[in-house]
Structure 1
Amino acid sequence: MEAISTTTLSLILLGLIILSGFFSSSETGMMSLNRYRLKHLSKNKHRGAIQTQKLLERPDRLIGLILIGNNFVNIAATVIATYICERIWGPAMGAIIATFGLTFIILVFSEVTPKTLAALHPEKIAFPASYILKPLSVLLIPFVKGLNAITNGLLRLFGVRVDDGLEDHLSSEELKTVVAEAGAMIPKRHKNMLVSILDLEKVTVEDIMIPRSEITGINLDTHIDEIINQMKNAVHTRLPVYQDEIDNIKGFLHARQMIKLLAYDEENLNKEAIIDAMTPVYFIPEGTPLNTQLLNFQRKKHRIGLVVDEYGDILGLATIEDILEEIVGEFTSDFAESSKDIQKEENGSIIIDGSATIRDINKTLQWKLPTDGPKTLNGLIIEYIEAIPKAGTGMRLSGYPMEILQVKANMVKSVRVWPGLYMEAKETD
């Protein structure tokens, strides 16, 4: 180096510091990339993304390549800096100045600054860097493979296999986090729908079904005139047809068939014609997750089914519309229409029907009543009190002050809740 001027050595040192910053920023940029966005860009034929994805297929080799380059330039920079400082300030003082000065310069200009920049803008750093790292990986492949053989061997001694971490897998909870952190890139309504789809496996048909006591159907034991009147005033598209009681179900009668029957010959309409127009009954076992039932509806071309328990007794009625509402929300924005069981009063209280499901209450009012037990408010109150309460009974259930307004046939029919008092109590805790 005696023949090389100090100016030339300084320029070489500057180039090595820049190279050190390049390798440091490349490492951080590559590791900070959003892998799913990278896959998306690769599918759209983005050249930088394609190059980067190929490098990241073997992260052990990529890291080995970057560290070989980074350590080489840092050691070379140390040697040249020490030589320059010793030439100017002498051996003793030059070594000290070179050590502290180069440490500061590398930390600021080759480590912290470029790595921070790469962490903030990984794509702007990683994609251009891939055009340099790719040919460099081919050139240094013997050194990289040799280094990986040693490091991977050491990792295996500790029970770590490099191949196990090469695939990206997301659980449903992790996918929810990805959706939640998407920010303005995904509209809030779309986020809610995506999260609802992921939550379908946690919800069963009992959570969304119409309870047995609220099923409206045609009883073949009633007079034909009453049946005709019921068909004329039907508010549902499909009505179950049964004999004597709902457990003795015969089939479903669609609104189109009702119109045909009434339009064809209402005066001579008989029960046999109604039975002939029915469609078969589709039964749903209790405990079926909604994601499974949605697929079952699709495969079997059904839109409605009766939920039955292990003894074959009918528990309720579920439709494909009920499942879709779990994903997209209620099909009406009017509060009174969307939840007829929940009525807001002018004084700030809320009157809730005892048959209202806990899930509907939580969704409509944004409450957090427990959903891992009884499905209805009546069931939740009875479980909490461990007895059939009387009208006028007051309690605080999950923080919500409640007053039972009406009890009939051993069931809580209506409850008044004062949500404002819950908020005050929560704030004072």
Structure 2
Amino acid sequence: MTSNKGFRSRFVNALVRGMLRATGTTLTLSTLKLASHDDLHEALDEVHREGNFDQQDRDRLSGLFGLEELEVSDVMVHRMAMRAINAADPPEQVVRTVLESPYTRMPVWRGSTENIVGVIHAKDLLRALSEPDVRPETVDIVKVAQKPWFVPDTTSLKDQLNAFLRRKVHMAVVVDEYGEMQGIVTLEDIIEEIVGDIADEHDPSLQGVRQDADGSIIVDGSVSIRDLNRALGWSLPDTEATTIAGLVIHESKLIPEERQAFTFYEKRFIVLKREKNRITRLRIRPAVAPIQ
């Protein structure tokens, strides 16, 4: 019987062959027999160095290799940053929020933002409002919403992508080992790991990030490190923390006070606002090189 490892290697190699053919790259026999992701990454770097395809193609293939190495928690929208609907809000307010939102799907919570009771799709809402006896002030949002789908935060992106395609669902609620809600993940989040950011005329700019007049960046503490890296072309590590506030706490080994500043990863982080034990706003600027 064929091992799972062998099957996964052939699966990845098949995808690699297809994507490299699209770029006009010729593969050697040794490349086709590669068995590990490390070897695939090394071969990919070599082909890139030889100039057979550009950085964008390399990044896409690297993202494909990473689907099995990354987990849902690495790409999810953290609960502190996600937009959601309160089921207790007046129905007409909810209708206005959904229809004015740049997102087609939004989680619905009741009682607590961590108690997700459904996922509302704009098309389902419009379909409900087209019924003769339904008006914006009488529509039952929870009844219109789809049942939420909960997935473990440790699920690999490869498995989650397959699950999305199999179930024909585009959003899942992410929970930890204790069943506590951690955030949401979408099919688009995973696809962007392969092809990069998918621009859309309705996409909002990165929420919670703005450039100040002096060139520094003002960032809400809940902004994810991955989103910040993508938006600004940075390479801050995201293995030990998910949000930028979490990164500062991890690196400083304490809960900073307001106006405290730290330097790491060639950046200067200044705490602008703190609420209880949460860093809610930071200023980030390039670190000043020491005078020699």
TM range (shorter): 0.7 to 0.9
Structure 1 residue aligned with 2:97: 230
Counterpart selection for 2:45 from 173, 180, 184: 180
* Cα shift at 1:255: 0.8
Q: Deviations over 1:294-343 (max 9, x none)?
A: 11111222110000112212110110111111111112399x95534433
1:388–1:169 Cα change, 3 Å? closer
* Cα shift at 1:197: 0.9
Report if aligned partners of 2:249, 2:256 keep a CA contact under 8 Å in 1.
Answer: yes
Separation in structure 1 between the aligned mates of residue 112 and residue 139 of structure 2, nearest angstrom: 16
Percent identity reads 29
Report if aligned partners of 1:215, 1:317 keep a CA contact under 8 Å in 2.
Answer: yes
Number of residue pairs matched by the alignment: 261
Separation in structure 2 between the aligned mates of residue 409 and residue 207 of structure 1, nearest angstrom: 26
1:350–1:239 Cα change, 3 Å? closer
Would you tell me which structure has more helix in proportion to its own residues?
A: 1
Look up the equivalent residue of 2:46 and give its one-letter code. E
Q: Does 1:398 pair with 2:268? A: no
Counterpart selection for 1:213 from 71, 80, 83: 80
3-state SS in 2 of match to 1:330: coil
Q: Does 1:267 pair with 2:135? A: yes
1:271–1:213 Cα change, 3 Å? farther
Structure 1 residue aligned with 2:195: 328
3-state SS in 2 of match to 1:202: coil
* Cα shift at 1:232: 3.5
Separation in structure 2 between the aligned mates of residue 404 and residue 268 of structure 1, nearest angstrom: 43
3-state SS in 1 of match to 2:66: helix
* Cα shift at 1:194: 0.3
Structure 1 length normalisation: TM-score?
0.54
* Cα shift at 1:233: 2.5
Write the mapping of 1:284-363 to structure 2, written as runs, cut at 5 A: 284-332=151-199, 339-363=206-230
Report if aligned partners of 2:80, 2:222 keep a CA contact under 8 Å in 1.
Answer: no
Separation in structure 2 between the aligned mates of residue 387 and residue 417 of structure 1, nearest angstrom: 18
3-state SS in 1 of match to 2:135: coil
* Cα shift at 1:383: 2.6
Separation in structure 2 between the aligned mates of residue 268 and residue 298 of structure 1, nearest angstrom: 33
Q: Does 1:413 pair with 2:254? A: no
3-state SS in 1 of match to 2:67: helix
Structure 2 residue aligned with 1:249: 116
Look up the equivalent residue of 1:357 and give its one-letter code. S
Look up the equivalent residue of 2:181 and give its one-letter code. I
3-state SS in 1 of match to 2:107: strand
* Cα shift at 1:361: 3.0
Report if aligned partners of 1:220, 1:241 keep a CA contact under 8 Å in 2.
Answer: yes
With a CA cutoff of 8 Å and minimum separation of 6, indicate the structure with the bigger relative contact order: 2
Write the mapping of 1:2-401 to structure 2, written as runs, cut at 5 A: 168-182=33-47, 183-264=50-131, 265-267=133-135, 270-272=138-140, 274-332=141-199, 339-401=206-268
3-state SS in 2 of match to 1:418: strand
Look up the equivalent residue of 1:175 and give its one-letter code. L
Larger radius of gyration: 1
Separation in structure 2 between the aligned mates of residue 246 and residue 412 of structure 1, nearest angstrom: 20
Structure 2 length normalisation: TM-score?
0.77
RMSD (CA atoms): 3.0
Q: Deviations over 1:232-290 (max 9, x none)?
A: 42332112223222343322221111112233355375354x33332221111011121
Report if aligned partners of 2:236, 2:265 keep a CA contact under 8 Å in 1.
Answer: yes
3-state SS in 2 of match to 1:307: strand
